[in-house]
Amino acid sequence: MIGRIVQFFGNTANVRLKWRIFVAVLVVIVFADFLVLRDHGEYFWDLLPGWGAGFGFVSCVVIIFVSKFIGHQGGIMRDEDYYD
């Protein structure tokens, strides 16, 4: 059982199917985010449906590119034998 699930996710032949499932999941959870009860929230974004989706996407993109920029341009990433 576990083995078959893992094989399914690993198999590159299923790429299209996996994307379809993934997109379906995204649609469902965004839809759910619009339906849930929002009776209280500390900040405005707590009352904003779809906030999580946008925030998750944007912060992931920011993390990737800001980190890579700091790593490459800030002199953080060095050759593996730097300390030798």
Partner 1 sequence: MTDWIHPALIFLAGALVLPLLKGHFRQLWQLAIPLAALASVAIMTPGEYGGFNFVGQKLLIAKVDKLALVFAWVFTIMAVIGCLYSLHVRSAAQHVAAFLYVGSALGVVFAGDWFTLLVSWEIMAFASAYLIFAADGLAATRAGMRYLMVHVTGGVLLFGGIVLHGQETGSYLFGPIAETGGLAYSLILISFIINAAVPPLNAWLTDAYPEATVTGAVFLSAFTTKTAIYVLIRAYPGTEVLVWLGAVMALYGVIYAVLENDCRRLLAYHIVSQVGYMVAGVGIGTEMALNGSASHAFAHIIYKGLLFMGAGAVIHMTGRRKLTELGGLYRTMPWTVALYMIGAFAISAFPLFSGFVSKSMVVAAAAGDQRAVIVLMLTVASSGTFLHTGLKLPYYMFFGRDCGLRPTEPPINMLLAMGIAAVLCVGIGVLPGLLYGMLPHPVNYHPYTGAHVTESLNILMFTALAFFLFLRSLDPERTISLDTDWAYRRGSGLFMWVANRPLARWEQMITSLSDTVIWRWLNIGAHFSLIGDLKGVDAVVNSVARTALRCGAVMRRVQSGVVSHYAGAMISGVLACIALYVFLWAA
Backbone angles phi, psi at 73, to 5 degrees: -85, -25
Amino acid identity of residue 6, one-letter, is V
> How many residues line the site for partner 1 (CB under 8 A)?
49
Is residue 17 at the binding interface for partner 1, with CB under 8 A as the rule?
no
Alpha-carbon span 59 to 30, nearest angstrom? 17
Residue found by looking up tokens 């959870």 in the block: 29
Q: Which of residues 24-83 bind partner 1 (CB under 8 A)?
A: 25-26, 29-30, 32-33, 36-38, 41-43, 46, 50-57, 59-68, 70-71, 75-80, 82-83
At what angle are helices 51-73 and 15-35 packed, to 10 degrees? Answer: 120
**Interface residues with partner 1 (CB under 8 A)?**
2-3, 5-7, 9-10, 22, 25-26, 29-30, 32-33, 36-38, 41-43, 46, 50-57, 59-68, 70-71, 75-80, 82-83
